[in-house]
Structure 1
Amino acid sequence: MELRRLRGLSPATARQLFTATVALVVDYASNVWMHAFKNKNIGPINRVQRVGAQAIVGTFLTVATSVAEAEAHIATAQHRFWRRAVKTWADLHTLPETNPLRRNTDQIRKFRRYHRSPLYQVADALKNIDMESLETINPFTLAPWEARMQIDEPITEGSTVPGGSMQIAVRSSVRNELVGFGVAVEKQPRKPYTHTHTHFINARRLNRKGNYH
């Protein structure tokens, strides 16, 4: 491994390089083949873990994989695979209902003796978690067919000031179940003008999607 050829690296730097370069290659498409990660197929991946631990803290290659991972303070391969699979399963439930992958999540949960989905084990392990309550994330902020904000008055040539600028700052925080946010607008056409606005709401009146009711 090229990581072992680098000299003078601290364990934290070597660990970060292992996670950012080696682990990403090993975990590629692990959502599909992680169910076959057993028996003889586990050998090459365990060797990568041991070599990575040797590059980080200098362990022996003959040491057990679990001991090397603990000494180097790196995540196990199974942990990384399941973390990626759970994230993928959660991301599928945030897709819109029109997405075919979102519609097929019910089919993935069904038990089949043959042609079983690779995500079936993940779906079975997370069957008691309500994924339907996750917020739907659209690939756009406003659909192309929805009405957009229109300007009441047309912009004339004299309504704009050359060299003008506007700066807007937004800040929010939560403390003791109280949500506060503030907006500051600074406009500089010819003479500086600053306007500020603050507002507080009770966090208990916010639903899961952040809407105020």
Structure 2
Amino acid sequence: MTDGTRAGYDVVAASYAAMIPDTRYEAPVDLAMVRHFVDAMPDRPATVLDAGCGTGRMITLLAELDGALEITGSDLSPGMLAQARSRHPDLDLVAASHAALPFDDDRFDGLLAWYSVIHTPPHELGAVFDEFARVLRPGGVLLLGYQAGTGDRRLDRPYGHDVELTAYLHHTPYVCEVLRSRGFGIDTVLDRAARPSETHDQAFVLARSVRPAGPPASRRA
């Protein structure tokens, strides 16, 4: 599935960048959660990872909200990263999956995963959240955005291309349960109804790493 997701986004990358160039399709309350995320980071200047940065549109927003942020991006798709690098040539943008981030422990004050866990099955969220916890400093903040619900959906011909992608809905109480089991405390939860342009309800969870200072349980040898 990882290979298929990577290949699919490589194909659609240029069309995605043209069709969704910025945050015009987000609801105001969605963007308020991103502002809350930036304000909640413990240090200034803060270091932030946009995990699943895609074409870099949320990096642009983060930089607008706080020009002092030190932003790094990661994405599974080299094609999407090529689009992001064209927009943000001076930033460190690396190819990586959520479950194997190529960063040191305690590297970031904040981690944004904006609709980038939608291709992760619910039973694999624990491994992803372990990795998020590893690269976040104690007290660091995590913001997730995703479509809310249960089950999966097949995206046929996304962005006008003859590829298929599978996306998963996530049930917010379960997401919070897994986060707590991985050393996060829940700060803010927002579930909102779908707008007319949307097929599913949307959800956002802001959590904070509450593990004590020192090696996280998942630290690599």
TM-score, normalization by structure 1: 0.22
Higher gyration radius (CA):
1
Quick check: which one's helix share is greater? 1
Bigger strand fraction: 2
Q: Please report the TM-score for the alignment, with normalisation by the length of structure 2.
A: 0.22
